[in-house]
Copies of this chain bind each other. A is one copy, B any other.
Amino acid sequence: MGRVYLVGAGPGAADLLTLRAARLLAAADVVFHDALVEGDILALAAKATRIAVGKRCGAHSTSQRFINKRLVDAASRHEVVVRLKGGDPLLFGRAQEELDALAAAGVEVEVVPGVTAALAAAADLRVSLTRRGVARSVAFVTPRCGEGEPPHAWARAAAGADTVAVYMGAGDAEAVAAALAAHGVPRERPVLVIESASRPGVRSHGGVLAELPALAARRGGGPVLILLGEVARDAACARPAASPRTQRSAAR
């Protein structure tokens, strides 16, 4: 009986994987990965069978129950089974269903945390999410909800926090802005829309909450993170964190 490793793939850049994640990918017999995981990260799983199990922006490319079953089956045939999830597995990673299914089947599981998208976006912008005298609370929220969930439950948490990171919200920017305004967030609250954080094509657009739908409409096809709060005021423009020059200077 093998072991299943729920591994965070980080925000996108391959060198933002943890050393442990890279080691486990190299040792993996099989890797089940989300759609958003980049090819250069999967390439680290040199000897593994790689199986895409979808979940692009919440779309159920593969049903969760089927993924659970495949993980249990794989653990019965392989020693090192990696379930690779974008960002961190335990933050908007829908990991609990998999953890519960593996526990129910008696499969040993370890979780390897990863760098979550909001922290990579903040790094690209060189904006601290917390700031003395300005921000001591950061809410990570998503407007994306499962069946039977109250659609606006997330907005209360966002309204109470100094800084807010909205995951998977750009597609519903109109509703996101409306829900925040309905919970008393000022329309003049600074906002940043960051696309493809940590990736070569990273770009960002800044403004205020009232402009969020317009800012989100300028996005391309990359994953988008929305940052809201005073810390987003006067933010630097996003640029790739690891420029070729950096790679060279740091490689010496």
User: Using a CB–CB distance below 8 Å, which chain A residues touch chain B?
Assistant: 3, 5, 8, 10-11, 13-20, 22-24, 27, 79-80, 88-97, 99, 109-116, 119-120, 122-124, 126-133, 136-142, 144-146, 148-149, 153-154, 156-162, 198, 231, 241-242, 246, 249-252
Known interface pairs A119-B116, A128-B93, A241-B111; A19-B20 also in contact (CB < 8 Å): no
- Tell me which residues across on chain B come within 8 A of A114, comparing CB atoms: 115, 119
8 tightest Cβ-Cβ pairs between the two chains A and B: A137-B157, A160-B160, A111-B123, A157-B161, A96-B128, A113-B119, A15-B20, A132-B146
Chain A, interface SS category? mixed
Are A3 and B246 closer than 8 Å at their CB atoms? yes
- For this chain, the copies found in one complex come to 2
- Tell me which residues across on chain B come within 8 A of A97, comparing CB atoms: 132
Alpha-carbon separation in the docked complex, A154 to B134 (Å): 11
Are A90 and B160 closer than 8 Å at their CB atoms? no
Are A122 and B113 closer than 8 Å at their CB atoms? yes
Are B112 and A133 closer than 8 Å at their CB atoms? no
- Tell me which residues across on chain B come within 8 A of A154, comparing CB atoms: 136-137
Alpha-carbon separation in the docked complex, A27 to B157 (Å): 41
- Tell me which residues across on chain B come within 8 A of A94, comparing CB atoms: 128, 132
Alpha-carbon separation in the docked complex, A241 to B20 (Å): 10
